[in-house]
Amino acid sequence: MKFGKSTITIDRRLSDLDYFAIDFTTVLKKHTPYVIVSGYVAILLGRARASEDIDIIIPRLDFSTVQSLLKDVRHHGFYCLNAEGDKEIYEYLTEELPVRFAKIHTIIPNIEVNWSKNKFDDIALEKTIQVHLNKKCLTISHLELQVAFKEIVLRSPKDIEDARHIRKVAEGYLDLKAIRKYKVMLRDFYKEK
């Protein structure tokens, strides 16, 4: 694993989850910027655990862009698990509810797509890392925000372990001041809510 300024190169053997992420984001990125966040970020960096889903944030899109995206996604063998028609899926997104996509006839693995809901989602979309996996590429959030979010907001044992794994494997590369800054920002933001 090689860490660059805004890149990580991993010469890993791809898992079923990696192939799934690559297949979906290859379609997604034709229509919108995206960023992968949360558990799959830790898994991509080697964390020894499974996951049934991958969390993705996209910016708010207009209806016609969502329609084009959905057409393309369906054309590539995916379907939406929790809503059917384009309008219903769009409504879910505008209500800030996640929409999930899986390969036809399957439930797991699936991708949870959310619109950006707050300034932290915007930061995640803005400050990204390109992860090079052999000849494939995935866009993930910068790691400092992921570590802070897991330690301050999510805080389940699984999230604390994810954050610890990221801290260990990216030691020397992580900006510890930025993690501390995000932790303060997150505490303030979620205290106000």
Partner 1 sequence: VTFTKKNEKERLQFVDTWAEYVKNHSDREWSQQQNIIINSGLRSASLTKEQFFHMKKEKYNRP
The site for partner 1 (CB under 8 A) is made up of: 1, 10-17, 43, 45-52, 81-84, 92, 97-98, 107-110, 157, 160-161, 164-165, 168-169, 171
Instruction: Return the number of the residue (107 or 176) whose C-beta is nearest partner 1.
Output: 107
The minimum distance between CB 52 and partner 1, in angstroms, equals 6
The minimum distance between CB 64 and partner 1, in angstroms, equals 24
Per-residue three-class SS string for 118-134: CHHHHHHHHCEEEEEEC
The minimum distance between CB 82 and partner 1, in angstroms, equals 5
User: Given its phi and psi angles, is residue 46 left (phi above 0), alpha (psi -120 to 50 degrees) or beta?
Assistant: left
Instruction: Return the number of the residue (17 or 31) whose C-beta is nearest partner 1.
Output: 17
The minimum distance between CB 111 and partner 1, in angstroms, equals 13
Neighbours of 21 (CB within 10 A): 25
Cα 162–12–49 angle (5° rounding)?
Answer: 30
Nearest-CA neighbor of 44 among 25, 31, 70? 25
